[in-house]
Chains A and B, each alone.
Chain A
Amino acid sequence: MYSAQITRANPTCIVLLIDQSGSMSDPFSGDSSRKKADFVAEVVNHTLHDLVIRCTKTEEVRNYYHVAVIGYGRSVGTCFSHELGARQMVPIAQVADYPLQVKSSYKRVSDGAGGWVEIPVRYPVWIHPSADGKTPMCDALGKVKEILERWLAEHPHGFPPTVLHLTDGESSDGDPDEIGQQIMSLGTDDGAVLLFNCHISSRRATKIEYPTEGASLPDGFARSLFQISSRLPPNFLSAAAQLGVNVVEGSRGFVFNGDPSSIVQFYEIGTSLTGMTPYRWMDDDRRTELA
């Protein structure tokens, strides 16, 4: 299980499900200048960038992945717009070709001889921050289920889909347990759909990352999200370990009261799929600053 080779004939799919409710415009604790929605949009754009680069073969992008970015707040639907906005699930080559804009900047890197050099880098942007409305989590998970059922009907073999769900609050339209379980019961002949959840907090609260059991979680909402979080398959455990994250066999893809550094790691681990070395787009100084 979770060992199928990801190829153009047998692609996998990745769904990034993002809470865009009004509370996402609040800042993270201790950093009044940084809104949660801004940071999440930045991480999602970097994640898409990473997925595109992984599939780039010199001058061609191969469709190893199909990607959906679904937001929920005032409404539920794709966060892609313009050319990509017409479809829920987009082959990665099309994602590559249609960013909203490509920003240019410079990045400081080692010159290999003990010094530093500034090199030009490009930052494509596909989604802009959004924070408005309530938290219709069940409706959003229902949308994900619908998209996955359609995709799985055409792709019954191969590496199963991964859903990376990020939220900062409780569902405003009911308990997500039932719909979450329904999503986790879908799959391919290589395993069930992987649903991972990352809850982030504006308060300075103790964060819980990749737990193995839910009994000691602080409240019912945390336990509910834990129940709809898949166990990390071996490949993902190995990627987490490479990032220095403390995981053991049985760890769930679940973070509670996460901070900005938890979000970065959550996406890095969640997109490691077949155990590839996670792409560390954020340098260590900035990670330390965020932790």
Chain B
Amino acid sequence: MSSVKQSAIWELETRQLLLPKLDHEVAECEDFIAADAETCRFAVADGATEAFDARNWARKLAQNWVQTQSALTAEEFREWVATEGRELHASWNGLNLSWYSEEKARTGSFAALVGVELDFNAESPSWKAIALGDSCLLHCRNGSLLKSLPLSRPESFNSAPVLVASDASMHETSMTSVVIDSGNCDNRDVLLLLSDAMACWFLERLEKGDLDPNELLETKDDEELKQFFDDERLAGRMRNDDLAVLRIELIGGE
């Protein structure tokens, strides 16, 4: 848990959790969380398991998006992704690849990305988010869900979402699925950036109303949370996938 003062009256309390698939090493985790207090940007990216160099692509997208000043409109985002993609592909030059790695690299890499920027310049803070894929932003107030994007129903999570492709030749079609949205925040509002399995689980829990997942993140320590989500995955209540959670609570304004 960390706390950062954003203005004279607002501060952010953040908490993050990153867990690899059950029986996998942390080094194999393809989810990434990035936060930058200066730009007030936060992001979660989830590399596609079947893609070439997906871990690097997810890391690059999350880390570089929070550091850039742009990429919050569809046009800027497309241009920014194209540049990042070219850099990623350039990093593969000179690698001595087997036939299968070469074939895999030819189709490029894929990842889901959701990023949010907070603005404290106006009287009340606001957020603006961009997402492509199935990593989600959930905006909660007093334990209720105000908004979820790009997906808002648990049944919308399937195995073939449109993702951020590193190969710009795919952007003509894939970028039409980019979702951009915004909202205003009150004191104690919570923004959650979640990779797909976690987002699906959160939405299910909120829909059923049998458990307040926010409370869970507030009351349990890291070890307890890890055990809890391991149990959920073992019991099949949650897909056995990498899990990323970035919880941002806005405090102040009074």
Residue ranges of A at the interface with B (Cβ–Cβ < 8 Å): 5, 7, 9, 49, 52-54, 56-59, 61, 96-97, 99, 102, 110-113, 119, 121-122, 124, 274-277
Chain B residues 77 to 134 lying within 8 A of chain A, measured CB to CB, are 97-104, 106
- The residue of chain A having its C-beta at the shortest distance from the C-beta of B101 within the complex is A59
Which listed residue, B49, B103, B171, touches A53 by the CB 8 Å rule? B103
Closest to A102 in B: B99
A–B pairs, 17, beta carbons within 8 Å: A7-B21, A9-B23, A53-B103, A56-B100, A58-B52, A58-B55, A58-B101, A61-B100, A96-B98, A97-B98, A110-B169, A111-B169, A112-B168, A112-B172, A121-B103, A276-B160, A277-B160
- Bound-complex Cα distance A9 to B170 (A): 34
A122 CA / B105 CA spacing, docked (Å) = 12
The answer on a CB contact under 8 Å between B159 and A274 is yes
Across the interface, do B159 and A59 meet the contact criterion of CB distance under 8 Å?
no
Cβ contact within 8 Å between A96 and B100: yes
B100: chain A residues at CB < 8 Å are: 52-53, 56, 61, 96
Do the beta carbons of B169 and A58 come within 8 Å of each other? Answer: no
* A121–B23 touching, CB < 8 Å: no
Interface residue ranges of B203-254 to A (CB < 8 Å):
239-240
Q: Which of B23, B98, B101, B102 contacts A7 (CB 8 A)?
A: B23
Check A112 against B169 for contact (C-beta < 8 Å): yes
The residue that B240 contacts in the complex, of A5, A57, A121, A122, with Cβ under 8 A, is A5
B165: min CB distance to chain A, Å: 10
Closest to B92 in A: A58
Of A57, A110, A112, the residue contacting B171 (CB under 8 A) is A112
A92 CB → nearest B CB, Å: 10
Which residues from chain B contact A54 at a C-beta distance below 8 Å? 50
Of residues 123 to 171 in B, which have CB atoms within 8 Å of A's CB atoms?
159-160, 168-171
Contact A53 B104 (CB under 8 A): yes
Cα A274 to Cα B54 in complex, Å, equals 21
Tell me which residues across on chain A come within 8 A of B21, comparing CB atoms. 7
Q: Please count the residue pairs between chain A and chain B whose beta carbons lie under 8 angstroms apart in the complex.
A: 56
Given contact pairs A56-B52, A99-B99, A276-B160, a sample of 6 additional A-B residue pairs in the complex whose CB atoms are under 8 Å apart:
A52-B100, A53-B100, A56-B101, A56-B104, A59-B98, A124-B99
The answer, yes or no, to whether B53 is at the interface (CB within 8 Å) is yes
A119 touches B106 (CB 8 A): yes
B 156-190 to A, binary, CB cutoff 8 A, 1 in contact else 0: 00011000000011111000000000000000000
- CB of B244, distance to nearest CB on chain A (Å): 19
User: For residue A53, which residues in chain B have a CB less than 8 angstroms away from its CB?
Assistant: 100, 103-104
Q: Complex Cα distance A113/B167, Å?
A: 13
Interface residues of B in 11-54 (CB under 8 A from A): 21, 23, 49-50, 52-54
**Residue of B whose beta carbon sits closest to that of A99:** B99
Question: Measured between C-beta atoms, what is the minimum distance from B75 to chain A in Å?
Answer: 16
Choice from A61, A97, A111, A121 contacting B106 with Cβ under 8 Å: A121
**From B233, which residue of chain A is reached at the shortest CB distance?**
A5
Query: Could you tell me the distance between the alpha carbons of A49 and B168 in the complex, rounded to whole angstroms?
Result: 25
Please indicate which of the listed interface residues B52, B97, B101, B168 has the most CB atoms of chain A within 10 Å of its own CB.
B101
Q: Are B169 and A122 in contact (CB under 8 A)?
A: no
Contact indicator B104/A58 (Cβ below 8 Å): yes
User: Which residues does chain B contribute within 8 Å of A52, judged by CB atoms?
Assistant: 100
Other-chain contact of B97, A57, A59, A99, A274 (Cβ < 8 Å): A59
A23 → B minimal CB distance (Å): 34
> Looking at A53, A113, A121, which has the most chain B CB atoms within 10 Å of its CB?
A53
Distance of A215 from chain B, by nearest CB (Å): 36
Bound: A9/B22 CA distance, A: 11
CB distance from B143 to the nearest CB of A (A): 32
Report how far A51 CA is from B239 CA in the complex, Å. 23
Chain B residues closer than 8 Å to A102, beta-carbon distance: 99
Q: Which of chain B's residues has its CB closest to A242's CB?
A: B160
A52 and B99 CA atoms in complex are apart in Å by 10
Inter-subunit contact A276/B99 (CB<8 Å): no
In angstroms, Cα B171 to Cα A123, docked, is 27
Q: Which residues in A have their C-beta under 8 angstroms from that of B99?
A: 99, 102, 122, 124
Q: How far is the CA of A52 from the CA of B97 in the complex (A)?
A: 14
Q: How far is the CA of A9 from the CA of B54 in the complex (A)?
A: 21
Closest to B50 in A: A54
Interface hub of B54, B99, B160, B171 (most chain A Cβ within 10 A): B99
A274 to B159, CA, bound (A): 9
Cα(A5)–Cα(B22), bound, Å: 12
* Chain A residues within 8 Å of B171, by CB: 112
Chain A residue numbers with a CB within 8 Å of B104 are: 53, 56, 58
